[in-house]
Amino acid sequence: MRLEPASIYDVSPTVLHLMEFPVAQDMDGRVLTGAMDDQFMTKNPIRFVDTYEDSAPMEHEVEEIDHKKIEERLKSMGYL
């Protein structure tokens, strides 16, 4: 097994592939196939998806933070 020069950007695509998830086309980096044996690569060819970005708008609004409740909770736990 021989590893080719790698970048930090190669970590995510490589881990996704090792976990048998598709790699996003819009990710920086590449799958470090040299880190895997031929048997694994034969059973698990690299699969791709366009993106993992979620472009759908949020369908719910974030509720207002109740600072008084948070302060009381922190006091009860001994942080304040």
The answer to whether residue 60 is domain-embedded is no
Check pLDDT > 90 for residue 33.
yes
Mean pLDDT computed over 39-60: 85
Helix residue ranges, H only, 8-66: 11-18, 38-43
**Structural domain boundaries, residue 46:** 1-52
Q: From CA 63, how far away is CA 42, in angstroms rounded?
A: 49
Domain annotation covers residue 68: no
Residue 16 pLDDT greater than 80, yes or no = yes
71 domain residue, yes or no? no
Closest by CA to 46, choosing from 24, 17, 14, 13, is: 17
pTM of the model: 0.64
Average pLDDT over residues 16-20: 95
pLDDT of residue 8 exceeding 80: yes
In which band, very low, low, confident or very high, does the pLDDT at 53 lie, cut at 50, 70 and 90? Answer: confident
Instruction: Flag whether 13 is in a domain.
Output: yes
Task: Look at the chain and report how many structural domains it folds into.
Answer: 1
- 48 neighbors 24 (Cβ within 8 angstroms): yes
Three-state DSSP class for residue 8: helix
